[in-house]
Chain A
Amino acid sequence: MRITVGMGSCGIAAGASEIYKLLEENEAGVKVTGCIGMCYLEPVVNIYNGAEEKVFVKVDKKGAEEILKLIKGEENSADEYAASREDIELLSAQPRIALQNCGMINPESIDEYIEKDGYKAARKCINEMTPEDVIAELKTSGLSGRGGAGFPTWFKWQAARDSEGEQKYVICNADEGDPGAFMDRAVIEGDPHALIEGIMIAAYAIGAGEGIVYVRAEYPLAIVRLEKALEQAREKGLLGENIFDSGFSFDIRIKAGAGAFVCGEETALIASLEGERGMPRLKPPFPAQKGYWGKPSNINNVETYANVPWIIRNGGAAFCAIGTENSKGTKVFALTGKIAKGGLVEVPMGKTIRDVVYGVGGGIKDGKAFKAVQVGGPSGGCIPAELIDTVIDYRTLAETGAIMGSGGMVVMDETTCMVDMARFFLDFTCKESCGKCVHCRIGNVRMLEILERICNGEGQSGDTQLLSELAAQIKDGSLCALGQTAPNPVLTAIRYFSNEFEDHIEHKKCTACQCKPLLTYEVDNEKCTGCTLCAKKCPADAISGELKKPHIIDNAKCIKCGKCADACRFRAIKVS
C-alpha cells in the first residue's frame, strides 16, 4: 500500500504538513507528492492498493484519523472525505504531458521518477540520436514556447546550435512573473526531474555545457526541491562529466531571482544573471547568438522543457496529433479567481474557454454570473462572456486582443469591476517598468492617472479615447514586450466593456460596487436595530441616530470607507 499527501506550496498552505505528520507518525510508507491540480480540494490524500486508488479530499485532522482507521481495516470509515466521482472524472479526463507525474510521484525521489521511464528520453537522445535528430523530432512535434510568445522551440534550438562558439548555455526561465499563474511552480515542486531531463536534452541538442535555472524569489519550496533533484541527478551520474559514457558533460545550477517582473523578459533575465539591473536590450542579436556573457544561449520556459522528455519518448508525431492547426500539444492553465474549482488544469489545444471554465472549472463560485476571463496576465486581456466559445489556440486568442501568455486564467464575475481591473494591471506595469523607454516609463503612468481618476468618479468624457491614443504610442515607442503589451488589458477592457467605462465616467456609477468613491451607503430602516455600532465605527462622524432607532448616514460627510457595512451585524447598510 502506498499513501501520498499532496505537498505543493498550495497544499501546505491548506494544512497538508499537519496531515502528513499525523499520517506518517502512525503509518509506514506515507509519501510526499506534488500538486495534482485539484487545489480547491486540498489537502488531498491518495491511497494506492495494487491497481485500486482512493482519493480523499479536504482532509483535516479528523479526516486523517479516519484514514488511519481505514488503513487498519475499518472499511468505509473515511467515506465522507472521499473525492466525488465527478471530481475524479474531471481529473482523469485531462491528457497529462507536462504535468504527467505531478501529484503522482514523490518529487524528492529520483528513483520514483526513473520508475516512470524517467531519464530514458535523455539516454535515448545522448546515446542513440544526433543533436540534429533531436531538433528534427521537436520540429515534427510542433512544440512552441509556453512562456508567452509561442515561438517554435526547434527553431530556437537550431539557431543556438548553429551559432559559433565553444561555450554555450541553456537557461530555464522559471521567473513566472504573471501574477495569478503558478504552472511552473507546480512543475518544479511536483516533478523537478522532468525539467532537468528537458534541459539536459536541450543542452545536448545545442551543445551547451552549463545550464542555469532562474527561479522566482517567492518560490522557496521550488528552489529546495530542485536543489535536491539536482543533487540526486549528480549522484547518479546523470549530470556531470561524461554522461552515459558518451563524452557529453553538463551540469545545472540555480539562480534565485530578486523580484522584478521584467526579468522574465529574456534579455533582462540574462542581464540579471550577470549581476546587473534587469534591463532588456534591443534584439537582434538574439540570445541564441549573443546571450549570457555574450555566448550563444537558449532560453525556454519551464513548461516548454517539461514537454520535451514526453516528446522524445512518444515521438514528435504523437504530440503533433494533439491540438489545432497552428497550436500543438497541451497547455497547462492556472485557473483562479471567482471559479468554483480552482487549480491547475492541462487541456489539449483547441478546447474552448467554456470547456475550461464550465467543464473543468465547474463554473462560477457561489452561483454568480460569469463576466470575463483574464488570460495572458499584464500582457494579455479580458475575454468577455460573449466570447466564451473562443478556441484555445495561439491565433484565436490573439484575435480577441488577449494572448495565450504563460497560462494564468483569472475568472471574473459580476462583482468584478473591469475598469478597476484595467487600473490594477496598469498599476502593476507602472511599478515593474524598468524605466529605460520614455513611452513605457511615463506613458503608462499617464494612462494610470486617467484610470485612477475614472475609478475615483472624476472621469471626463473623452477619457477612453485619450487612453486609446496613449496606448498606441506606448506600443510603438517601447523596446521590449513589457511596454509593447502593457496597454493590452486596458484596450480589451475598453473594447468589451465600454458600458462600464461609460457608467463610471458619465453616470459616476460602479455597477460591480468595487470603486469605493462611487458608492453610496444607506441605512435600511427595516433592518436597522439601532445598535449604534456603525456610528461608533464611522471615522467621519457621518452616522447619527438614537439607540434602538434606525440610523441615518449623512452622505455629505461620508468618506465611503465601508467600515459601517463591515461592522453591521444585521446587513442593514445598503451599498449601491
Chain B
Amino acid sequence: MNCNCNAHQEPRSENLSVDAGLIEQELIKYADIKGGLITVLQKAQETYGWLPSDLLEYIAGRMGVGLAKVIGVVTFYTQFRTKPVGKNLILLCQGTACHVNGSSDIEEAIRDYLEVEEGEISENGLFTYNNVACLGCCSLSPAMMVGGKTYGNLTKESTVKILKEIEKESSR
C-alpha cells in the first residue's frame, strides 16, 4: 500500500513560519532533478538559519517525497538543525588534534562564559555553540570557527576574549 499522506493537499506556503518565497528558485530547480533534496535543505538552512518543521513539510510536498524521508535525511546529517540558533554560531572543533591539545578545556570556558549547553542559545541571543569534528586547521589546534572565521591556538582566556569582542561588534 502506498503512503498517501501528501496526496490530497497541495503544499501551501501562506501560513508557514518563514517566507518560503526565499527558496522558491531552488524548489523549482530541484523539483524534477533526482537527488536534489540535500541541496534544497542546505539552501533552506542557509536562508533561515535552521529548519522549522512546517517548512520541512512544505519542502516534502514540493519535492514530491514523503515527510518521513525528509526528516530521515535531516536527522542523519549533523549539518542540519531543527532548532533555531543564536546570531553567531560557534563551531568548536573536537577533532583528534584539538582534543589532544585541550579542546575540552575550551568547551568548558565557552560553557562557563555563555552559561549554555551545546546547541542552546545564550541569554542575549548572540551565541550558540556546536561541537564539530575537525575544521581542517589542525595545525592551529585547538580551533573554532565563528561566522566563517577560524580562530586557532585557543586558550581559555583567548576564547573568552574573542567572544567578548564578537559580543561588542554584534551589539553595535
Stretch at the interface among B6-14, B114-122, B148-156: B148-156
The answer on a CB contact under 8 Å between B97 and A176 is no
The answer on a CB contact under 8 Å between B42 and A13 is no
The answer on a CB contact under 8 Å between B96 and A377 is yes
Residues of A within 8 A of B93 (CB): 179
Report if B85 contacts A (CB, 8 A).
no
The answer on a CB contact under 8 Å between A218 and B148 is no
Chain A residue at minimum C-beta to C-beta distance from B95: A179
Report if A566 contacts B (CB, 8 A).
yes
The answer on a CB contact under 8 Å between B138 and A181 is yes
Would you mind naming 24 contact pairs between A and B with Cβ atoms under 8 Å apart?
A: A9-B137, A13-B149, A13-B150, A13-B152, A14-B140, A39-B140, A179-B94, A179-B138, A180-B96, A180-B97, A182-B134, A217-B79, A218-B135, A258-B79, A258-B80, A275-B38, A275-B39, A334-B139, A336-B97, A337-B101, A338-B101, A410-B100, A412-B100, A425-B96
Q: Mark A172-190, 1 if CB is under 8 A from B, else 0.
A: 0000111111100100000
Interface members, chain A 333-352 (any B CB < 8 Å): 334-338, 342-344
The answer on a CB contact under 8 Å between A273 and B35 is yes
Q: In the assembly, what is the distance between CA of A424 and CA of B103, in Å?
A: 12
Report if B141 contacts A (CB, 8 A).
yes
The answer on a CB contact under 8 Å between A260 and B76 is yes
Q: In the assembly, what is the distance between CA of A217 and CA of B145, in Å?
A: 13
Chain A residue at minimum C-beta to C-beta distance from B109: A566
Residues of B within 8 A of A428 (CB): 133
Report if B27 contacts A (CB, 8 A).
no
Residues of B within 8 A of A256 (CB): 42
- Contacts A14-B152, A275-B35; A179 near B97 (Cβ below 8 A): yes
A384 to chain B, nearest CB (A): 15
Residues of B within 8 A of A216 (CB): 136
Report if B72 contacts A (CB, 8 A).
yes
Residues of A within 8 A of B37 (CB): 275
The answer on a CB contact under 8 Å between A334 and B35 is no
Count of chain A residues near B, Cβ 8 A: 57
Residues of B within 8 A of A220 (CB): 148
A97 to chain B, nearest CB (A): 21
- Contacts A9-B150, A180-B96, A566-B156; A274 near B140 (Cβ below 8 A): no
B35 to chain A, nearest CB (A): 4
Interface members, chain B 39-55 (any A CB < 8 Å): 39, 41-42
Residues of A within 8 A of B135 (CB): 9, 218
- Contacts A218-B135, A410-B96; A260 near B78 (Cβ below 8 A): yes
Q: In the assembly, what is the distance between CA of A97 and CA of B38, in Å?
A: 35
Q: Which residues of A contact B (CB under 8 A)?
A: 9-10, 12-14, 39-40, 42, 176-182, 185, 216-220, 255-261, 272-278, 293, 334-338, 342-344, 374, 377, 408, 410, 412, 416, 421, 424-425, 428, 432, 434, 566
Q: In the assembly, what is the distance between CA of A566 and CA of B160, in Å?
A: 15
Out of B39, B136, B145, B156, which one reaches A182, CB within 8 Å? B136
Q: In the assembly, what is the distance between CA of A278 and CA of B35, in Å?
A: 12
Out of B72, B79, B139, B156, which one reaches A259, CB within 8 Å? B79
A270 to chain B, nearest CB (A): 10
Q: In the assembly, what is the distance between CA of A39 and CA of B134, in Å?
A: 16
Out of A177, A260, A338, A374, which one reaches B77, CB within 8 Å? A260
The answer on a CB contact under 8 Å between A185 and B136 is yes
Out of A42, A277, A293, A408, which one reaches B96, CB within 8 Å? A408
The answer on a CB contact under 8 Å between B35 and A338 is no
The answer on a CB contact under 8 Å between A277 and B76 is yes
Out of B96, B100, B143, which one reaches A13, CB within 8 Å? B143
The answer on a CB contact under 8 Å between A218 and B139 is no
The answer on a CB contact under 8 Å between A9 and B139 is no
Q: Which residues of B contact A (CB under 8 A)?
A: 34-39, 41-42, 72-73, 76-80, 91, 93-101, 132-141, 143, 145, 148-152, 156
The answer on a CB contact under 8 Å between A275 and B79 is no
The answer on a CB contact under 8 Å between B138 and A336 is yes
The answer on a CB contact under 8 Å between A334 and B138 is yes
A451 to chain B, nearest CB (A): 14
Q: In the assembly, what is the distance between CA of A304 and CA of B1, in Å?
A: 47
The answer on a CB contact under 8 Å between B77 and A258 is yes
Residues of A within 8 A of B41 (CB): 258
Residues of A within 8 A of B149 (CB): 13
Out of A343, A424, A434, A566, which one reaches B139, CB within 8 Å? A343
Q: Which residue of A13, A216, A272, A343 has the most chain B CB atoms within 10 A of its CB atom?
A: A13
The answer on a CB contact under 8 Å between B140 and A180 is no
B76 to chain A, nearest CB (A): 4
Q: In the assembly, what is the distance between CA of A185 and CA of B95, in Å?
A: 15
Residues of A within 8 A of B95 (CB): 179-180
Q: In the assembly, what is the distance between CA of A181 and CA of B132, in Å?
A: 14
Residues of A within 8 A of B151 (CB): 13
Residues of B within 8 A of A434 (CB): 76
B97 to chain A, nearest CB (A): 4
Residues of B within 8 A of A257 (CB): 79
Residues of A within 8 A of B91 (CB): 218
B18 to chain A, nearest CB (A): 20
Residues of A within 8 A of B99 (CB): 421, 424
Residues of B within 8 A of A219 (CB): 136
Out of A9, A176, A274, A337, which one reaches B34, CB within 8 Å? A274
User: Which 10 residue pairs spanning A and B have beta carbons closest together?
Assistant: A179-B95, A39-B139, A180-B96, A258-B77, A179-B134, A13-B150, A336-B97, A275-B35, A259-B79, A259-B78
Q: In the assembly, what is the distance between CA of A310 and CA of B91, in Å?
A: 37
Out of B132, B134, B150, which one reaches A180, CB within 8 Å? B134
Residues of B within 8 A of A185 (CB): 136
The answer on a CB contact under 8 Å between A179 and B133 is yes
Q: In the assembly, what is the distance between CA of A217 and CA of B138, in Å?
A: 16
Q: In the assembly, what is the distance between CA of A178 and CA of B138, in Å?
A: 11
The answer on a CB contact under 8 Å between A410 and B137 is no
Residues of A within 8 A of B100 (CB): 336-338, 410, 412, 416, 421
- Contacts A337-B100, A410-B97; A277 near B72 (Cβ below 8 A): yes
Residues of B within 8 A of A218 (CB): 91, 132, 134-136, 145
Q: In the assembly, what is the distance between CA of A432 and CA of B132, in Å?
A: 12
Q: In the assembly, what is the distance between CA of A416 and CA of B104, in Å?
A: 13
